[in-house]
């Protein structure tokens, strides 16, 4: 999954104005009649639900809109250049790269069909009819079309999901995802089997729920260790956090605290999201023997938890029902404004 790209966008160049004079029979000194050039096309980014990731634009580093047509005789205005729509997945966040590599928020596209202007086309040049004066009644000059805006922008995809599976490597996230949804991630008995987010769909009675599996986190993931740093951005948009804890761990409550700290250090507001804990691998004898101790350790956290085994199916149905109920009760987040903040100056009127 390609979830971050950098590219250059440029608006179309404006068409040139025309130098022309009326030449008709019985019309003496017809005067200038050169038309204006058309404006260049604008560049937009458009959210489209049929686009899965940013891979469709990864290998194209520059996008230029169509230029405007030049002006014509008889004061005809040149045609405006076609706008360029760059299709991106729903959940894409755009940033403008300013001086000193500073990133300025541009837009957050959270619904299909939303679009935002990222580069405006240049204005078309004026024809020579605009330059006629009492002194110069036959101007032989016209305006050249202006160049379009050119910007470097960064696009990041933040998945919009109902639930998100979080846990250490080899804790059983992929096995659980394949057991409760139609997804088929790679399942193997070694860490970091999943190297990119995987999406699945859980069929509910009223609607379907989208669940994501994030590659295994390690301590220090918020600093870039392991694979977690590149994919923690996808946790920001989920409604429900599902913490998977390995039942064979001797410090199962400590594992939860460390995972929670990693998310909080990445973004402080992630701490406030609804959570549920799932203890995995309860089909193993060594886990069954210490279920009482695990229960006591988790009750101290005052969070809903359950015991599951993706291999035997034990507790999976109850866990799925609880997760669907909790995710359905979470109110959707408010839509982010598409337009960046603009300073408005209101001068005081003269007396």
Q: pLDDT per residue over 38-75, tens digit each?
A: 999 999 999 988 887 788 787 888 999 999 999 988 88
Please check whether residues 196 and 308 belong to one and the same domain: yes
pLDDT digits (tens, 9 = 90+) for 222-260: 555 555 556 777 788 888 999 999 888 888 888 888 888
Instruction: Please indicate, yes or no, whether residues 174 and 258 belong to a single structural domain of this protein.
Output: yes
Whether residue 273 sits in one domain with residue 313: yes
Are 257 and 303 members of one domain? yes
Q: Which domain holds residue 100?
A: 4-157
* Domain-embedded: residue 334: no
DSSP 301: T
Residue 332, pLDDT score: 59
Q: Where residue 188 sits, what CATH number does that domain have?
A: 3.40.50.300
The total of other beta-carbon atoms located within 10 Å of residue 87's CB is 15
Highest mean pLDDT, choosing among 63-77, 127-141, 201-215: 63-77
Q: Do the domain assignments include residue 134?
A: yes
Instruction: Kindly state whether residue 340 falls inside one of the protein's structural domains.
Output: no
Tally of domains within the chain: 2
Q: Verify that 148 and 171 share a domain, yes or no.
A: no
End position of a domain, from candidates 108, 128, 157: 157
Distance CA 71, CA 193 (A): 60
The residue written with tokens 């991630």 in the block is: 185
DSSP-derived pairing of the beta strands 103-109 and 92-97: antiparallel
pLDDT for residue 337: 41
DSSP 62-100: EEEPPPPPPPBTTTBPPPPPPPEEEEE-TTEEEEEE-GG
Confirm whether 103 is domain-assigned.
yes
pTM of the full structure: 0.71
Q: Choose one of 140, 157, 174: the last residue of a domain.
A: 157
Residue 136 lies in a domain: yes
Judge whether 42 lies within some domain.
Answer: yes
- pLDDT of 90 > 80? The answer is yes
Same domain, 25 and 139: yes
Identify which of 16, 24, 145, 144 has the alpha carbon closest to the alpha carbon of residue 74. Answer: 24
Q: What is the pLDDT of residue 226?
A: 54
> Helices H, strands E: what count in the chain?
6, 14
How far is 82 from 69, CA to CA, in rounded Å? 10
200-213 average pLDDT score: 81
Give residue-wise pLDDT tens across range 302-320.
Answer: 888 899 988 888 888 988 8
Residue 146 sits in the same domain as residue 169: no
Same domain, 268 and 284: yes
**pLDDT surpassing 80 at residue 37:** yes
C-alpha–C-alpha distance, residues 141 and 131, integer Å: 7
125, 52: one domain? yes
In this structure, the answer to whether residues 212 and 308 fall within a common structural domain is: yes
Rounded distance between C-alpha atoms, residue 292 and residue 285, angstroms: 13
pLDDT value, residue 188:
45
Q: What is the CATH number of the domain that holds 17?
A: 2.70.210.12
Both 192 and 262 in one domain: the answer is yes
Cβ contact 159:237 at 8 Å = yes
pLDDT digits (tens, 9 = 90+) for 256-292: 888 888 888 877 777 788 889 999 988 899 988 888 8
Q: What is the pLDDT of residue 219?
A: 64
């Amino acid at each position: 999954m390609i979830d971050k790209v950098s590219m250059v966008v440029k608006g179309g160049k404006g068409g040139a104005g025309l130098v022309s004079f009326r030449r008709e029979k019985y019309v003496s000194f017809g005067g200038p009649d050169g038309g204006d050039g058309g404006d260049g096309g604008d560049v937009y980014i458009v959210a489209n639900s049929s686009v899965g990731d940013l891979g469709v634009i990864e290998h194209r580093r520059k996008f230029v809109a169509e230029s405007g047509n030049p002006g014509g005789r008889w004061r005809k205005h040149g045609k405006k250049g076609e706008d360029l729509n760059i299709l991106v997945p729903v959940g894409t966040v755009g940033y403008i790269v300013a001086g000193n590599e500073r990133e300025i928020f541009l837009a957050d596209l959270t619904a299909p069909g939303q679009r935002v202007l990222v580069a405006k086309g240049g204005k078309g040049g004026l024809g020579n009819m605009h330059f006629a004066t009492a002194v110069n009644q036959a101007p032989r000059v016209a305006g050249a079309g202006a160049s379009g805006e050119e910007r470097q922008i960064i696009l990041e995809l933040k998945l919009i999901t109902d639930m998100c599976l979080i846990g250490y490597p080899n804790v059983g996230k992929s096995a659980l995802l394949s057991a409760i949804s139609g997804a088929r991630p790679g399942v193997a008995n070694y860490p970091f089997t999943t190297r990119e987010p995987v999406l699945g769909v859980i069929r509910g009675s009223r609607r379907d729920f989208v669940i994501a599996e994030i590659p295994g986190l390690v301590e220090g993931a918020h600093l870039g260790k392991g694979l977690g740093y590149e994919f923690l951005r996808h946790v920001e948009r989920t409604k429900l956090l599902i913490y998977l804890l390995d039942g064979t761990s001797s410090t199962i409550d400590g594992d939860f605290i460390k995972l929670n700290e990693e998310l909080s250090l990445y973004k402080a507001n992630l701490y406030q999201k609804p959570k549920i804990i799932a203890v995995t691998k309860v089909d193993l004898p060594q886990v069954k023997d210490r279920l009482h101790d695990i229960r006591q350790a988790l009750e101290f956290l005052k969070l809903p938890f359950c015991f599951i085994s993706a291999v035997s199916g034990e507790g999976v149905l109850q866990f799925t029902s609880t997760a669907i109920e909790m995710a359905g009760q979470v109110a959707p987040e408010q839509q982010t404004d598409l337009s960046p903040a603009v300073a408005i100056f209101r001068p005081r009127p003269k007396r």
